[in-house]
């Protein structure tokens, strides 16, 4: 029996200590559209997304990932997920509807402890008359042509103190493990997973958290159409005085053209395009050695060590242990 319980990564909740600056940057520089404000949260979406919101900016003390939302593949699937995670002992419970979605079931991965929500009922974006695209009917609105013009949410990359064990948990919900990068067998530094049968590369990325902390996030990624759009995005970032942390370049592990920056609240945001196509439900994951260009396909670039910073930050001895863990991975030398 085949089983696909989740249809897409629907949204990520970004906790920001500077919510007004974060939202302004998301709209003016990344190019998202604001759809709703309520309480301490602002709801945004890529201009080509039909769902109500793909990024929820919520005010908080420091940068962090709040809930990650997954839309189920059909009605009744959230109940199946609920039964399964309750049996695994990681269920949290049902929560009421909120802007953009109906009731959702919350659960956590056993080790990373990230909070996920699964739901079926959604609210769709309804463009006002002046924004309707009368020519391209698969678009919920016209392309506003603003900033980096981020079109869709693409993936969330989280950090786990026990990455391989968490991957096994996500697999019990039908998510497919597509690739892993290692220094030596059992010493893994990156992994990709996808929730359905047609997603090209990944909607969930994972890095190890050598500090032992839980619930941390490395970045949230948005997609544009063409690789050249990533270069145009780089120009938009520079014009907005947003420093570029890494890229544009191509990751070997997913063939994505990547570009990483930090939004005003401090979180790393990726804009990307391209990627290999994987429609095989029984595709066997690929094991990359860290020297094979999984990070930089041309094998001639050094990834900045700052790329392993995750949020919320850890401090003192815990931060030192985390840093030493990554420094032992060879991720930061050309060819890795």
Give the residue with the Cβ less far from Fe ion, 229 or 270: 270
Strand-by-strand arrangement of the 244-250 sheet = 244-250, 256-262, 268-274, 217-223, 152-160, 204-208, 187-194, 176-184, 286-289
- Considering only 40-48, 77-85, 87-95, 262-270, which stretch makes contact with Fe ion by CB under 5 A? 262-270
Side-chain-facing half-sphere of 113: CA atoms under 13 Å:
7
The 10 Å CB-count burial string (b at 16+, else e) for 162-201 is bbeebbebbeebbbbbbbbbbbeeeebbbbbbbbbbebbb
- Considering only 5-13, 134-142, 191-199, 218-226, which stretch makes contact with Fe ion by CB under 5 A? 218-226
CB of 192 to Fe ion, least distance (A): 9
CB of 206 to Fe ion, least distance (A): 10
Considering only 33, 77, 270, 309, the residue that binds Fe ion (CB under 5 A) is 270
245 in contact with Fe ion (CB under 5 A)? no
Residues 6+ apart with CB under 8 A from 219: 156, 157, 260, 267, 268, 269, 270
CB of 270 to Fe ion, least distance (A): 5
DSSP assignment letter at 39: T
Give the residue with the Cβ less far from Fe ion, 149 or 218: 218
Give the residue with the Cβ less far from Fe ion, 101 or 219: 219
Residues touching Fe ion, count (CB under 5 A): 3
- Considering only 95-103, 269-277, 292-300, 312-320, which stretch makes contact with Fe ion by CB under 5 A? 269-277
Alpha helices in 97-190 (DSSP H): 163-171
221 in contact with Fe ion (CB under 5 A)? yes
**Residues within the interface to Fe ion (CB under 5 A):** 157, 221, 270
């Amino acid at each position: 029996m085949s089983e696909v319980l989740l249809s897409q990564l629907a949204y990520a909740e970004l906790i920001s200590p500077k919510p007004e600056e974060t939202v302004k940057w998301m709209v003016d520089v990344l190019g998202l559209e604001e759809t709703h404000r309520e309480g301490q949260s602002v709801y945004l979406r890529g201009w080509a997304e039909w769902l109500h919101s793909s990024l929820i900016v919520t005010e908080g003390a420091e940068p962090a990932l709040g809930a990650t939302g997954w839309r189920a593949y059909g009605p009744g699937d959230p109940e199946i997920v609920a039964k399964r995670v309750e049996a695994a002992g990681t269920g949290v419970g049902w929560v009421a509807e909120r802007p953009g979605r109906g009731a959702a079931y919350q659960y956590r991965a056993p080790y990373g402890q990230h909070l996920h929500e699964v739901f079926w009922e959604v609210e769709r974006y309804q463009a006002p008359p002046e924004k309707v695209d009368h020519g391209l009917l698969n678009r919920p609105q016209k392309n506003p042509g603003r900033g980096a013009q981020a079109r869709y949410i693409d993936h969330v990359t989280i950090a786990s103190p026990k990455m391989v064990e968490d991957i096994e948990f996500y697999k019990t919900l039908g998510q497919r493990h597509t690739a892993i990068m290692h220094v030596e067998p059992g010493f893994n530094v990156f992994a990709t997973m996808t929730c359905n049968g047609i997603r090209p590369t990944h909607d969930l990325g994972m890095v190890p958290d050598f500090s032992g902390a839980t619930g941390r996030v490395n970045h949230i990624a948005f997609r544009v159409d063409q690789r050249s759009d990533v270069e145009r995005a780089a120009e938009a970032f520079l014009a907005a005085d947003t420093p570029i942390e890494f890229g544009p370049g191509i990751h070997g592990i997913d063939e994505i053209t990547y570009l990483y920056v930090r939004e005003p609240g401090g979180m790393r945001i990726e804009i990307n395009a391209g990627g290999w196509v994987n429609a095989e439900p029984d595709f066997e994951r690929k094991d990359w050695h860290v020297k094979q260009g999984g990070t930089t396909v041309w094998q001639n670039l050094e990834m900045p060590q700052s790329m392993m910073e995750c949020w919320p930050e850890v401090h003192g001895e815990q931060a030192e242990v985390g840093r030493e863990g990554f420094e032992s991975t060879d991720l930061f030398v050309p060819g890795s």
